A and B are shown apart, each in its own frame.
Chain A
Amino acid sequence: QVTLKESGPGILQPSQTLSLTCTFSGFSLSTYGMGVGWIRQPSGKGLEWLANIWWDDDKYYNPSLKNRLTISKDTSNNQAFLKITNVDTADTATYYCARISQGHFDYWGQGVMVTVSS
C-alpha cells in the first residue's frame, strides 16, 4: 500500500526558507523508474507543479520559481524534501507530494498548508 505524507512549518515569515518533508511508504526511491514530485495549490486555485526527483537523483524544477527551489531525498528513510528560499505571501498554499510512476502522479499525499505572513 502506497502512502505519502507531507509535513512543514505551518506558518513562516516573508524572506524565510520553507522546508517541507514528504515521508512515504509502499515503494522505494531507489527503484528504477520511480520518482517523487511536489505540487502546490493556493486556496481556491489550481495546481502548480514545483519539482521532481528521480531514483537516479535526477532533478527537475519549475523555472517560474527561478532558483528558489531545492529538491532532495533520503532513500534509506523513505523521505523526499523541498526547500523554497526567500518566501513571500504568494507562496501561501497547500503543498502536496506525489509518487511518479508510468508518467503520472499516481499517489498523492493529503497536503500540508503553509502560510507566509508577517
Chain B
Amino acid sequence: QITLTQQAESLWISPGERVSITCRASQSLLYTDGKHYLSWYQQRPGQTTKALIYHASVRTDGVPTRFIGSGSGTEFTLSIEHVQPEDFAIYYCLQTLKSPLTFGSGTKLEIK
C-alpha cells in the first residue's frame, strides 16, 4: 500500500504568518490522466471535516485563497498564507490513487 508521511506532528506559528505542511508519498501519485490523486483536509473540534485541496493543487469550492496546494510525484505541500485564528486545526493528506486509500498521520497547527 502507499504510505503517506507527514513529518511534522505539530507546527507552532503566530497568526498572520505563513506555514507549509508537507506530505511525502512512498510512490508517485500521478495517474495516467495527468492528475495527482492527493487531497488535503482540515479537522477542527466540533466541526465537520473539511476538504481543502484535491488533485494536489485545486481548491475545493468556497475554500479561501490563502490555502495553496502544490507539489508533484511524491512530494506535496499545503501552504497557508496569513494564518487566521480559525486555521489552527489538524491537517491530513490523503491519497486516492490506489486502494487501500491511505491518510497521512496528521499535522496539528498550534498557536505560538
Residues of A within 8 A of B (CB): 37, 46-49, 52, 60-64, 96, 98, 100, 102-111
Contact = CB atoms under 8 A, between A and B. Distances in A.
Contacts of B50: 108
Interface residues of B, number: 23
The 6 closest A-B pairs by CB, nearest first: A104-B39, A104-B54, A49-B101, A108-B49, A47-B103, A62-B100
Identify whether the interface residues of A are mostly helix, strand, loop, or mixed: strand
Contacts of B105: 46
B88 interface: no
Interface string B26-52: 000000000101010100000011110
B29 to A, nearest CB: 10
Nearest to A49: B101
Contacts of A109: 48
Contacts, number: 63
Nearest to B39: A104
Given A96-B49, A105-B94, A49 B60 contact: no
B76 interface: no
B100 A104 contact: no
A104 B94 contact: yes
A112 to B, nearest CB: 13
A104 B96 contact: yes
Interface in B81-112: 92, 94, 96, 99-106
